[in-house]
Structure 1
Amino acid sequence: MFETLHRKFDIAGLEEFTIELNPGDIDEEKADILKAYGINRISFGVQVMDDDMLAQLGRVHRVKDVYQTVNILSKKEFTNISLDLIYALPNQSVEQFQQSLKEALQFKLPHYSTYALQIEPQTVFYKRHKKGLLHRPREEDEVTMYQILKESMAANGVKQYEISNFAKPGFESKHNLTYWNNEYYYGFGAGASGYVPGKRIANLRPLPIYIEKAGSGEKPILEIDKIGVREEIEEELMLGLRKNAGYDERIFQHKFGLSLKDFYSDQLNKLIRQGLLTVKQGVWKLTNEGMLLANLVFEEFILDDHELEEKMRRAKIIDKNLPI
């Protein structure tokens, strides 16, 4: 695969070439191969520095594998390493999270991604949760964990640049910033997703099915979602406001030919009054409380059909997904 990439694309000038792996998946020989093919950023999913909780999550690696992986990557002089953590795990106490975070931070890595556990429908966690066999931490404990997270990262020189992401200066993920800037990207390979003007594309998985379709001359695509002006506008704010740098209203004007303050005047004023949003020199940012309640903030930017239709009529924009 790496040889094909090198043949088909000029990747010599890539600033960021990331591969994701699980702790324990890499040895020195594999690390040498990655280095030889120009991979310069490693992201690995630790989730939690606690063997019992890893077992509950169904993860096959253990804490010792995390140490082994970091040691190998350091020995092979990989300097851009990201570690993924999950908090608000079932039955996890604030103290347990704090200890897990402390142990993860002692690696002094340049990037950490940290997300609260989301219990999705049709999963084993969801079924156990509904049966009362699995208990999430209290909401106030989850808030405390997030505050500890932010304070601990800052104390270790790892700066927050997005709701769930922290990096030392210069190590912010360029790949992820593409998402949060609502920019276009291509997706190649099994299970990959892409975003191009007017559509989101998801490829088939698993790999054998993808190869079978591609080999027979068919497009190995699972689904294509059409994206209208409505979705573009909503996602622009929901993604852009995730960044600590905030969202510059001039970008909204440039992309859509609209004044952000006019288009979302009621919503923006409401969020400012509630102390969830601030604005300075045209740059809108979530407050600390706004980050804690980010999903509620983002819901404000979802307009019903009537609201959107009226705003678009006044702006003389036509969205083919709306009956106007």
Structure 2
Amino acid sequence: MKSAYIHIPFCEHICHYCDFNKFFIQSQPVDEYLRSLEKEMINSMEAAGHPELRTIFIGGGTPTSLSAGQLEQLLDSIRRILKPSESLVEFAVEANPDDLSAEKLNVLKAAGVDRLSFGVQTFEDDLLKKIGRVHKQKDVLVSFDRARTAGFGNISLDLMFGLPGQTIDHLGASLDTALALGAEHYSVYSLIVEPKTVFYNLMKKGRLRLPPQDQEAEMYELVMQKMNEAGISQYEISNYAKKGYESKHNLTYWSNEEYFGFGAGAHGYINGERTVNAGPVKHYIDLIDKCGFPYKESHRVTRNEQIEEELFLGLRKTAGVSKDRFFEKYGKPLDDLFPEVLHSLEQKGLIMNTDKNVFLTHHGKLLGNEVFQAFLGEL
């Protein structure tokens, strides 16, 4: 059983930190893009033998930058081509707090969408302006209430820390506001300054003032503490949920399972092959018209690469990597493949290696990248 990610690369504005494939929606061929997206889904599902889907996730960009009519068109394509059935356990859409009208919410709800992910980032209006967001705290509160009224009982709030000018008090206040809303899920990520972003250009000019590394670590500790006190369980390095509300789609990635990637710039992993679609909208449309598929890159994943990915993706989960599941997939015991790495990481206090699984310690969560990199190239 597979999952499907669908990329909508359009935005009403471009955030200073975002390095995802995105374009200003004004003057873009949106309707033509949606038609090409439909063709890609048809061709890909046919080539894969029309597998049943376990999860569907529409991300971006900003999916809710589409008009209500365009959203309806997209969702109708999904219904006809992907044929979500009883096997579907999650149908999620990313939403922007400032463009989520009651009409759009009703369109999403009528199409079977059962999970919304709100890009909040912070509840501090001054910080929102600094990072290039145009919504304000009040927009989040209004949209959240509107979504509840529309019948959405599974809402995730995305927050960030380590932002320019952000203090521990700022983060604490945002977390308190977020938790008071009573969402089912929270994603809380540290800022990573990526190339080709506004923040990257500012950093190169020495004009980006970020919290020091020790303060960022303190912020992460605060996130874990507040979530724990609120009874929201951490199930992945940056993700927290009420019981039963973990992101089933994202667990597909962290469990190293396969998924379709539809749309401009989307990544897919089907039948052991990782693909990357062309990013520019016009290039994507032209490739679909020319050959039916928009791939700009494809890579057959070797067995050793699969095993390494199993480790550095699976260790993101609080539960870690199951040794039984690992043996089922690869036919070899995990301990036999990485004896020295596992011993070294355990000696450093970064992992726990039990009879059943390998998982990060609290200290390991703070130094996750060091743990993940330890497995790369070992085979």
Residue equivalent to 2:285: 211
Kept in 2: contact 1:278–1:286 (CA 8 A):
yes
Residue equivalent to 1:115: 189
| Partner-residue secondary structure (3-state), 1:186 | strand
Kept in 1: contact 2:168–2:219 (CA 8 A):
yes
Residue equivalent to 2:312: 238
Separation in structure 2 between the aligned mates of residue 121 and residue 188 of structure 1, nearest angstrom: 24
Q: Give the drift of 1:206.
A: 4.3
Q: Which has the higher contact order (CA 8 A, sep 6+)?
A: 2
Please point out which of 54, 78, 91 is paired with 1:5.
Answer: 78
Separation in structure 2 between the aligned mates of residue 225 and residue 68 of structure 1, nearest angstrom: 44
Please point out which of 154, 164, 171 is paired with 2:238.
Answer: 164
- Give the counterpart letter for 1:278 in structure 2: M
Q: Give the drift of 1:254.
A: 2.1
Residue equivalent to 2:101: 27
Q: Between Structure 1 and Structure 2, how many residues are aligned?
A: 305
Rg comparison, structure with higher value: 1
Please point out which of 124, 134, 153 is paired with 1:79.
Answer: 153
What are the ranges of 5 or more consecutive residues in structure 2 without an aligned counterpart? 1-73
Please point out which of 81, 91, 107 is paired with 2:165.
Answer: 91
- Give the counterpart letter for 1:16 in structure 2: E
Q: Give the drift of 1:274.
A: 0.8
Separation in structure 1 between the aligned mates of residue 334 and residue 159 of structure 2, nearest angstrom: 35
- Give the counterpart letter for 2:343 in structure 1: N
| Partner-residue secondary structure (3-state), 2:308 | helix
TM-score, length of structure 2 as denominator length: 0.77
TM-score, length of structure 1 as denominator length: 0.90
Separation in structure 2 between the aligned mates of residue 45 and residue 235 of structure 1, nearest angstrom: 28
Residue by residue over 1:220-262, the C-alpha shift from the partner in whole angstroms, topping out at 9 and shown as x without a partner, is 2232233222321211100111111121122222222222112
| Partner-residue secondary structure (3-state), 2:189 | strand
Kept in 2: contact 1:42–1:82 (CA 8 A):
yes
Kept in 1: contact 2:94–2:117 (CA 8 A):
yes
What are the ranges of 5 or more consecutive residues in structure 1 without an aligned counterpart? 309-324
Separation in structure 1 between the aligned mates of residue 305 and residue 82 of structure 2, nearest angstrom: 32
Please point out which of 206, 209, 221 is paired with 1:132.
Answer: 206
Kept in 1: contact 2:127–2:165 (CA 8 A):
no
Q: Give the drift of 1:207.
A: 4.0
Separation in structure 2 between the aligned mates of residue 68 and residue 254 of structure 1, nearest angstrom: 47
Residue equivalent to 2:14: none
Kept in 2: contact 1:31–1:76 (CA 8 A):
yes
Residue equivalent to 1:258: 332
Residue by residue over 1:11-67, the C-alpha shift from the partner in whole angstroms, topping out at 9 and shown as x without a partner, is 142221011111111111111111111111111111111111111111122212111
- Give the counterpart letter for 1:5 in structure 2: I
| Percent identity between the two aligned chains | 44
Kept in 2: contact 1:12–1:38 (CA 8 A):
no
Kept in 1: contact 2:342–2:353 (CA 8 A):
no
